[in-house]
Amino acid sequence: MAELFTIGDPIRDTKAQSGPLQERWEARRFSARLINPANRRGLSVIIVGTGLAGASAAATLGEAGYQIKSFCYQDSPRRAHSIAAQGGINAAKNYRNDGDSVRRLFYDTVKGGDYRSRESNVYRLAEVSSAIIDQCVAQGVPFARDYGGLLDTRSFGGVQVSRTFYARGQTGQQLLLGAYQALERQVAAGSVEVHTRHEMLDLIVIDGKARGIVVRDMVSGTIETHLADAVVLATGGYSNVYHLSTNAVGCNTTAIWRAHRKGALFANPCFTQIHPTCIPVSGEHQSKLTLMSESLRNDGRIWVPREAGDDRDPREIPDGERDYYLERRYPAFGNLVPRDVASRAAKNQCDAGRGVGPGGRGVYLDFADAITRLGRPAIEEKYGNLFDMYRKITDEDPYQVPMRIYPAVHYTMGGLWVDYDLESSIPGLFVVGEANFSDHGANRLGASALMQGLADGYFILPNTISDYFARNPGTKAVSGSHAEAVKAADAVRARINRFLTINGDRSVDSFHQELGSIVWEHCGMERNADGLQHAIGLIRDLKEEFWRNLKVTGVNEELNQTLERAGRVADFFELAELMCIDAFHRSESCGSHFRSESQTEDGEALRDDESFAYVAAWQFGGANAPPTLHKEILEYENVELTQRSYK
């Protein structure tokens, strides 16, 4: 196989702060230049995405006086995928008096990410976490409360304290409604302009700075250019490259991938998270998978039959013939080990023939003990909507029969590279939430996604974007007639025309399904060098067929979902290849990236800190040209790099 990539110059985060960890964020806030309120009214910002990160950023920047244009491809900002988050949001408030603190949340997050995240970023995230809860309570988010009326909490994987605030199994929905209300308040005030059913198809870069986007009106097909003084991407993750994931079917990578092609570095693309508690695949007819909240592991016990091939009704298998394998292997954390550990353990049980359900691709999540101990009403109060969802999908009653679960692709830790200010390698392009790589390392701990999205949007970006404007005063106004804007729009039209004129024999979905199978098989829960090289060859061959044999029906000047999917899948092909290259180059195991060549004697992930303690930031090399790897060395001054252990 030809050279897969080249090595470029190392990079560093020039906005990173030095000094005591506890003082770095305050130091950066003080050193960041300010824009006075009167001048903010003359500055405009485009924000793409209306999930927790995008909605909170638009609401906060609008409140500050900036002129905001907000874009989403859904028919309402409320339909952003953040609404699907179930279990909770972390904050270091220590309401349970169980030893929690900002430093412990920081440590748990760095350790959970297998020491592949920046100390400064993670500590800042832990530091502002408490303010997020206060903000959301003030907005009226109906967090669960205990008998005395105080906010209730529960535990999530990878921690030994109870720091996760929740709203039954609908936490993401309730938080998004709070952010949406704040956004709509600014719409009414005239500082935010929302454009629904518009999909970003390219980034406009003028004089080396991000100055706008090209969008397609998804109803009329009109190609529009929108310009501003800065652009913020809050478009979520790219798990749908696997075709089957817990993400909504519409979730895609196009916004960040188009920015990558314009020069934005893409960091750690192979770091994708596998969630351990999802409803198993039921057949090839599926377009997505269903997540069952990790919070269920607070009271549910995970087990498989001790004997391979035991297909008895689980209620007929006595306790002595069950293997509660997480409790056995990881006694300190039990069923609450991090997601990557729980996912690999479930896969190993199924590979050994002890899996349950169709095809042996499942393990049991059993609530019988919890119902006996707490009573059914208590379980209904905590998890009722999740149990109802499971019953509707599987036609099985989890109050009577254990749930069947299996790992599935969920969150992506990779994303566009950003500095401490959340600014990408393209000046004026900021990236927030799951769309950036910054806080989770090689594995996201549960209940941290909502925390990062709201931290970025409410508290971090509003403090850092002003510094960009202050450092670039008097930015020249540009219009849609600017040569670069016209060039970007013409490129979008040409690409759309190409999709419509290939006139082959295969559907978009058939290509997506085949691509997803390749990536899942070779760059999923477990990877190896031979498989990754094989996958790269398969992806390239399939991509060539895609551009030769794709069939897109309809025309551009109408609602055309097949055309929409064609553009997204075309970008998934390029991303999938980079993911496999990134996974191939990183020959260690860490977090959710498990290389079979690099494991301990008992099958755990084995890191190589001497060779790989860095962020892998990739530069687009051009069509059919190898990408360039830039390394950002990770420095650890406040935690010791040790082999992760949850035993």
The C-alpha atoms of residue 513 and residue 381 are separated, in whole angstroms, by 38
pLDDT for 228: 97
**DSSP one-letter string for 504-550:** -SB-HHHHHHHHHHHHHHHHSSSB-HHHHHHHHHHHHHHHHHHHHHB
At residue 144, what are phi and psi to the nearest 5 degrees?
Answer: -65, 145
| Helix (H/G/I), strand (E/B), else coil: 466 | helix
**Distance, CA of 444 to CA of 412 (rounded, Å):** 8
Looking at CATH, the fold of the domain delimited by 483-608 is given as Methane Monooxygenase Hydroxylase; Chain G, domain 1 (1.20.58)
Helix, strand, coil % in the chain, rounded to nearest 5: 40, 15, 40
Q: What DSSP state is assigned to residue 433?
A: G
Which token pair is 283?
Answer: 């057949």
Helix axes 24-31, 461-471, angle to 10 degrees: 40
Which residues in 576-590 are b (16+ Cβ under 10 Å) and which e?
bbbbbbbbbbbbbbb
Distance in angstroms (rounded) separating the CA atoms of residues 383 and 406: 19
H-assigned helices in 324-435: 325-329, 339-351, 368-374, 376-394
Q: Exposed, middle or buried, 385 (CB in 10 Å: 0-12/13-18/19+)?
A: middle
Evaluate if pTM is beyond 0.75: yes
* Count of beta carbons in the 10 Å neighbourhood of residue 515: 23
Among residues 428, 431, 429, 476, which one has the least CA distance to residue 456? 431
Per-residue pLDDT, 582: 98
Strands of the sheet containing 266-267, edge to edge, are: 6-7, 628-633, 614-619, 266-267, 415-416
Q: CA–CA separation, 501 vs 351, rounded Å?
A: 45
Q: Enumerate the active-site residues.
A: 339
Tokens of 628: 């360039």
Res 286: pLDDT: 85
Query: Taking the alpha carbons of 170, 445, 117, 611 in that order, is the dihedral positive or negative?
Result: negative
Q: Are 156 and 50 in contact (CB under 8 A)?
A: no
Asked if residues 64 and 40 have their Cβ atoms less than 8 Å apart, the reply is yes
Closest C-alpha among 539, 611, 592 to residue 569: 539
SS3 at position 146:
coil
Both structure tokens of 83: 């609404």
What is the per-residue pLDDT across 155-188, written as a single tens digit (0 to 9) for each?
A: 999 999 999 999 988 999 999 999 999 999 999 9
- DSSP, collapsed to helix, strand or coil, labels residue 46 as strand
Nearest to 609 by CA among 588, 579, 627, 585: 588
Q: What is the pLDDT of residue 1?
A: 56
How far apart, in whole angstroms, are the C-alpha atoms of residue 4 and residue 472? Answer: 38
Tell me the pLDDT tens digit for each residue of 230-274.
999 999 999 999 999 999 999 999 999 999 999 999 999 999 999
Q: How far apart are CA 334 and CA 326, in angstroms?
A: 5
Q: Which residues of the chain have pLDDT under 70?
A: 1-2
**Residues 400-431: b if buried by 16+ CB within 10 A, e if exposed:** ebbbbbbbbbbbbbbbbbbbbbbbbbbbbbbb
Distance CA 48, CA 196 (A): 10
Domain ranges of the chain: 275-409, 483-608
Domain 275-409 annotated CATH 3.90.700.10: yes
What SS3 string covers 53-86?
Answer: HHHHHHHHHHHHCCEEEEECCCCCHHHCHHHHCC
